A and B are shown apart, each in its own frame.
Chain A
């Protein structure tokens, strides 16, 4: 093989699908690129840019009957025009794939190790014993705990981050010519993402693997890739080295992507904080499952959470999955009864469940869910959805409702002709706007936003955040904004509450999160957000190992203890933590004093 020729060569790649009108629709248009041996190329773009389609066509796979044309060469194999057996010989052997959701990609009824070594056995590249040995080696390289035995577990016994790394091991077991990573960390918590990225980068370097990394997140890509290919609507906008793209982007679209990655919301709220808060959550305990005699649910989620939202204020609630942040919204909305504590609106305690609240109280608090695909009824048109709220709360007749729907659509910056369409005909961003408009239709005082921007890609997210900020300024609506992404929360909110396993570990004004001191968990959250520079990701976790990692949780002690690198013997593992107020005004639930918490 010619040493100077690129390892992967793609020329004039086009992918055509059947369009909605039945005619051919090109979703990838004349894309050409090379990947040198041992390099990682990132494909980046918004959803619909064709990045995953290109990645899959490298395996000769077109989703839903898509037709692939052009030249694709991986190593010495030409893929174009191949099919059946010869393609099967490449897939999972010379070209492998790491999917977005490993949790869904593993078979839940088989042990992990059997699935990891399966490609090697199918393609007969190694015996079962040597494949197992290589798997264990890869597990160790991927920094998985107990590399010798972890493979004997079943997928449900492992965390999302661990499964994602195991999937990488599966992809590398046959020593492939090309590994395709398709948004492998998008579904993970930000703290887990760091570990997984570190493991991926190390193993890719050690194995000398060539890769294609699909992502919408420039900051993540900056850590992983050598080259970046920027895509928009199936066309190449720019290809260059990571450093050049980040520092001197040549294309307008690239500049827009970079700008959108750091959301800056221009329109801040009124800034006046009224004395009497609009919503007060006081000492709320809540959970799922049967409640025992002591009033504790079988699966407690929230313990002693208090917070308040002023009129027209935006309060962010942040935490990783399992922190109970969505449960806060469900308790406030009256969908889940707290086992203790109260929720009050304007000083009036609210009934624990929806059924006990007046229609006026219900109208004043509206909830917007994360995933607009399931939050909007697919059987109804946009007009039905918004009109129902208008009739329900405001008793409007058909004509008034129609006029108001048009106003609402204008408010959320959608064309008026959307009204007659069903939701499955709208794009993700449009759906999320309709989702928001439904809450606005009630003319609420408070909107509970549960991860409303998490399912959107960066450009759309920026637009939705701008819209939220404008609505707040113009309508004076308050937000309880729940998110796992601290950058989003910082951009929109004036106050931030950090939840960890159902306890409020820190709360304070947005400004107090600009610099330490903060709670060790907040510190971890903030430092885990990838920054847009190539040297951000350290090779090894610099954080000292947590001294109490072996300890299980005890309800009265600090919940973060098993992960806390700053825990103190005989204090943190004995006494419940006090709430300290720092000089910046943020309240931190920790034994450490302000001086300790400043690095």
Chain B
């Protein structure tokens, strides 16, 4: 894809898509450059007042320990955006890959994979995460793996139903009659026609992952201090909820704007033109 093509496509997006694109771009930039432009070190106690309101010194006020919320937000964004993006990529690659294997492979393999996924889907995600974190201790790698494994079955189910439908179409039959291998049928004939619904699924799953990561952090199972993602920021400042502190509103709004942005963009991009 050439850059000017991307630009033209971006211009053709409906207004909702442009808003989504702006939000997503903002968060990607925030995740990349955020840690370098913090006004204060994210862990240092810089304000005498806890849950302070917005001021020229602290744009988003201070948190429950008197740390700068803006600095913590800029440092936390990389974890939420980065971890979620990696986890969703892993989950969708694994889910769709297995789904295509099931669709073009022998029947017993399809059964085996489908039942394995059913088993996985029946384990509550938080309990699953809790058990693994308890067993191995919390780390970035483990967290990413847990979160992606949790969302493989959902993507598998959607991709498999798409692939099984496509497998019956005439153009796949033609490829089969030509003597094409299973890999070609899966990747060249089927996958390009699954992209649009898969992208919609990616959007949904990204939101789930952000929420699960935030949820885990909220329970104290996610990122461990001193690191903090957006979910941890909400959790640690939960005592400020009663007074409507900026320290809790800002990270919560951040999570919302990220997930809404991703979905606006994906919806707009998959509706018009090609996904």
- A residues within 8 Å of B by Cβ? 333-335, 354, 357, 359, 362, 366-367, 369, 371, 374-380, 388-389, 392-393, 438, 442
Q: Are B177 and A354 in contact (CB under 8 A)?
A: yes
B201 within 8 A of A: no
Q: Are B171 and A389 in contact (CB under 8 A)?
A: no
Beta-carbon nearest neighbor of A358 in chain B: B179
Beta-carbon nearest neighbor of B173 in chain A: A335
B48 within 8 A of A: no
Beta-carbon nearest neighbor of A368 in chain B: B174
Q: Using A377-B189, A378-B193, A379-B192 as known contacts, say yes or no to A354 and B176 having CB atoms under 8 A apart.
A: yes
Q: Are A376 and B171 in contact (CB under 8 A)?
A: yes
Q: Are B179 and A354 in contact (CB under 8 A)?
A: yes
Given A335-B176, A354-B179, A362-B179, 12 further pairs, Cβ under 8 A: A354-B177, A359-B179, A367-B177, A371-B170, A375-B170, A378-B193, A379-B193, A379-B195, A380-B192, A388-B188, A389-B178, A442-B178
Q: Are A357 and B179 in contact (CB under 8 A)?
A: yes
- 27 residue pairs A–B, Cβ–Cβ below 8 Å: A334-B177, A335-B176, A335-B177, A354-B176, A354-B177, A357-B179, A359-B179, A362-B177, A362-B178, A366-B178, A367-B173, A367-B177, A369-B170, A371-B170, A374-B169, A374-B170, A375-B174, A376-B171, A377-B171, A379-B192, A379-B195, A388-B188, A389-B178, A392-B179, A392-B180, A393-B178, A442-B178
- Chain B 92-128 interface 0/1 with A at a Cβ cutoff of 8 Å (1 = within): 0000000000000000000000000000000000000
CB distance from B176 to the nearest CB of A (A): 6
Q: Which residues of A sit under 8 angstroms from B169, Cβ to Cβ?
A: 374
- Chain B 227-268 interface 0/1 with A at a Cβ cutoff of 8 Å (1 = within): 000000000000000000000000000000000000000000
CB distance from B18 to the nearest CB of A (A): 19
Q: Which residues of A sit under 8 angstroms from B188, Cβ to Cβ?
A: 388
Q: Are A374 and B171 in contact (CB under 8 A)?
A: yes
Q: Which residues of B sit under 8 angstroms from A367, Cβ to Cβ?
A: 173-174, 177
In the bound assembly, the distance between CA atoms of A379 and B188 in angstroms comes to 9
Q: Which residues of A sit under 8 angstroms from B179, Cβ to Cβ?
A: 354, 357, 359, 362, 392
Q: Are A377 and B193 in contact (CB under 8 A)?
A: yes
In the bound assembly, the distance between CA atoms of A374 and B106 in angstroms comes to 24
Q: Which residues of B sit under 8 angstroms from A442, Cβ to Cβ?
A: 178
Binding site of B, secondary structure by majority: helix, strand, loop or mixed?
helix
In the bound assembly, the distance between CA atoms of A366 and B193 in angstroms comes to 24
CB distance from B35 to the nearest CB of A (A): 40
In the bound assembly, the distance between CA atoms of A438 and B173 in angstroms comes to 13
CB distance from A149 to the nearest CB of B (A): 36
Beta-carbon nearest neighbor of A360 in chain B: B179
- Chain B 176-203 interface 0/1 with A at a Cβ cutoff of 8 Å (1 = within): 1111100000001100110100000000
- Chain B 145-186 interface 0/1 with A at a Cβ cutoff of 8 Å (1 = within): 000000000000000000000000111011011111000000
9 tightest A-B CB contacts, nearest first: A379-B192, A375-B170, A362-B179, A369-B170, A377-B171, A333-B177, A374-B170, A367-B177, A379-B193
- B residues within 8 Å of A by Cβ? 169-171, 173-174, 176-180, 188-189, 192-193, 195
In the bound assembly, the distance between CA atoms of A362 and B181 in angstroms comes to 13
Q: Using A362-B179, A377-B189 as known contacts, say yes or no to A438 and B174 having CB atoms under 8 A apart.
A: yes
CB distance from B107 to the nearest CB of A (A): 12
Instruction: Kindly name the residue among B170, B176, B188, B193 whose own CB sees the greatest number of chain A CB atoms within 10 A.
Output: B170
In the bound assembly, the distance between CA atoms of A175 and B169 in angstroms comes to 43
Beta-carbon nearest neighbor of B172 in chain A: A377
Q: Which residues of B sit under 8 angstroms from A393, Cβ to Cβ?
A: 178
In the bound assembly, the distance between CA atoms of A293 and B173 in angstroms comes to 28
In the bound assembly, the distance between CA atoms of A542 and B174 in angstroms comes to 44
Residue of B171, B180, B195 near A375 (CB, 8 A) is B171
CB distance from A160 to the nearest CB of B (A): 21
Beta-carbon nearest neighbor of A359 in chain B: B179
CB distance from B230 to the nearest CB of A (A): 37
CB distance from A398 to the nearest CB of B (A): 16
Q: Which residues of B sit under 8 angstroms from A335, Cβ to Cβ?
A: 173, 176-177
In the bound assembly, the distance between CA atoms of A374 and B168 in angstroms comes to 10
In the bound assembly, the distance between CA atoms of A315 and B213 in angstroms comes to 65
Beta-carbon nearest neighbor of A376 in chain B: B171
CB distance from A245 to the nearest CB of B (A): 37
In the bound assembly, the distance between CA atoms of A206 and B193 in angstroms comes to 51
CB distance from A599 to the nearest CB of B (A): 41
Beta-carbon nearest neighbor of B274 in chain A: A379
Q: Which residues of A sit under 8 angstroms from B170, Cβ to Cβ?
A: 369, 371, 374-375
CB distance from A195 to the nearest CB of B (A): 30
In the bound assembly, the distance between CA atoms of A526 and B215 in angstroms comes to 72
Q: Which residues of B sit under 8 angstroms from A379, Cβ to Cβ?
A: 192-193, 195
CB distance from A432 to the nearest CB of B (A): 12
